[in-house]
A and B are shown apart, each in its own frame.
Chain A
Amino acid sequence: MRARRLAAVAVAALLAMTGCSSPAADEPIGGGSSGPAGPGSGAAGPVTVLAAASLTESFTAIGTRFEQVNPSAEVSFSFGGSAGLAQQIIAGAPADVFAAASPTTMKTVTDAGAATGTPVTFARNQLVIAVPKGNPKGLATLAALAGSGIKVALCAEQVPCGTAAGKALSAAGVRLTPVTLEQDVKAALAKVKLGEVDAALVYRTDAKAAAADVDGVEFPESAGAVNDYPIVALEDGPNPAGAAAFLTFIRTPEAQRILTDAGFQQP
C-alpha cells in the first residue's frame, strides 16, 4: 500500500515537472521565432526521438550538438529495434521523431497514419562481417562463414539487419545455418564481443563503434543490400517545433559529418 502511494506521488511529481518545464523553456524564444524551424531556432523543451539501435552512437553525438545549438531544447533518445519502436509508436508512444533502419519499417508507421509529412532518407548503411579483434579464424568472405565449425550470429529476418543479411547471402549464393537469430544488431554484435560466435553480419557503423573488440570485414555482396535510414516527425508528438528543428538539423553538414564519421554513407 505504502509503495503504491509513494509511486503515485512520484508520478505526480514527474508530471508536474514536465508540465512546468516546457512553458518555462518556451518563454525566452516566444518573442521572436515563429518562422520555419532551422538550426538554432524554434526548438525548445523536451524532444523525444525514437531511433534504430544502429544509430545509438551517432544520434547521441548529434543530440549533444543539437542541444548546444538549441540551448533550451532537451533531446531524449530511445534506441531499439526499428520494428519494436514502430509498434510502440502505433500504440501511441508519446514521441516526436522516428528514425528507422529500413523504409519497410517506416512504412508501417506512415501506413498507420502516425507520421506527419513524408519520411526523408538521411543516411545509408552497409553490412560487414564482424569478427573478434585480429580475425583469429581468418574469415574474409561470406562463403567462409558457411565453413564447418564456424559459429555465426545473424539478425532475425523480422528486423532490418536480418533482411539485409538475407539479401547479401542470397546475392552471394551462400547458404549458412546461424547458431542464433538475434533480436537486433547490437545483440548480434554482443555475441561477437563476448567471443560466443566467430562472426556476425552487422552494419559497418556497429562494427566501427565496437572497434576496440571487433574487426569489420568488408565484402562485395553488401552493395546489393544497402539499408536506407528514413526519418520522420510524428503526428501525435507533443513538441512539433522541436521535431521540425531536429529534422532540419539532421541534414546540416555538421550532423552529416557525425554520421559519416560513424561509418554511414550519405544518401
Chain B
Amino acid sequence: MLPLAGLLIRAPWTTLPQRLTEPGVLAALRLSLLTATLATVVCLLLGVPLAWLLARARFPGRRLVRALVTVPLVLPPVVGGVALLLVFGRRGLVGGWLDATFGFSLPFTTTGVVVAEAFVAMPFLVISVEGALRGADPRFEEAAATLGASRWTAFRRVTLPLIGPGVAAGAVLCWARALGEFGATITFAGNFPGRTQTMPLAVYLALEQDLDAAIVLSLVLLVVSVVILAGLRDRWLGTS
C-alpha cells in the first residue's frame, strides 16, 4: 500500500485536469482497456477448454502440459516478447508464412498487443479454472449424461454454472494482468501512440522526460482498474 500512497502524495494535483485532457492519455487508456478486454476474451476461449482438459481428461504428458501452461508466469515478459517475435515475427516460424501468404504480420499492430497480453495472462485463467473444475463434483456431469445430455450440453448447463465463480475470478485476474502488461508488449508489439502504446508503455516513456506526467498516467490506470475490479467483484463474486 505504501508505494500507492507515494504516488498519491507526489501527484501534481494543481496541473492534474490539464494533464488529463492531453489527447495521448485518453488514446493510451482506451487502447489499454480494449486490448486487455480482448485478451481476456481470447484467454477465456482458449483457456477454459484447456483447463477442462487438464482437470478432466487423462492423457499422456498431462503433467508436462500443465507445467508448460505456467511457463509464461516464470518467463520474464521481455523474453516472452522475444519468443513471440521468433514465432510470429516476419522471419518467425508462423509469422514468415503468414506474411508470405496473406501479407499479414502481427508485430507492431493492435492485434499484436492482444496476443502478447493473452500470452502473459493466460496462466492466471487456466490455473483458476482448473482449480474450480477440480473442486466441482464430476457426478453432476455424469447425472446430466444419464439424463441424455450431450457432453457439450452437460458442460454448458451443468459444469459452467458450477465453476462460474472460478471462471470469473480467473478472468478478472487475467484482465488485470493484461492491463498491466509491459515487457512482452513493448518487445513484440513495439510502441506507437494510438496503435500499440498502452498505458504501461506510455508511463515508461513519460518517465524518460517528465516524472509528473508519468505519475498522472499511473494514477489514471490505477483508478480506472480499481473501479472496474471493484465493480466486477460486486457483480460476479459477491452474489455467489
Residues of A within 8 A of B (CB): 81, 83-84, 87, 151, 153, 156, 158-159, 178-183, 187, 191, 194-196
Contact = CB atoms under 8 A, between A and B. Distances in A.
B158 to A, nearest CB: 41
Interface of B: 82, 85-86, 89-91, 107-108, 186, 189-193, 196-197, 204-209, 211
13 contacts: A156-B208, A179-B107, A179-B108, A179-B192, A180-B196, A181-B197, A183-B204, A187-B186, A194-B86, A195-B89, A195-B90, A196-B85, A196-B91
B208 A179 contact: no
Given A156-B191, A158-B205, 11 more contacts: A83-B207, A83-B208, A153-B190, A179-B108, A179-B190, A180-B191, A181-B193, A183-B191, A187-B186, A194-B82, A195-B89
B213 to A, nearest CB: 10
Given A194-B85, A194-B91, A181 B192 contact: yes
A158 B208 contact: yes
A153 B107 CA distance: 12
B91 A195 contact: yes
Interface of A is mostly: loop
B192 A178 contact: yes
A159 B191 contact: no
B40 to A, nearest CB: 25
Nearest to A188: B190
B94 to A, nearest CB: 14
Nearest to A151: B108
A84 B208 contact: yes
B21 to A, nearest CB: 20
A153 B186 CA distance: 12
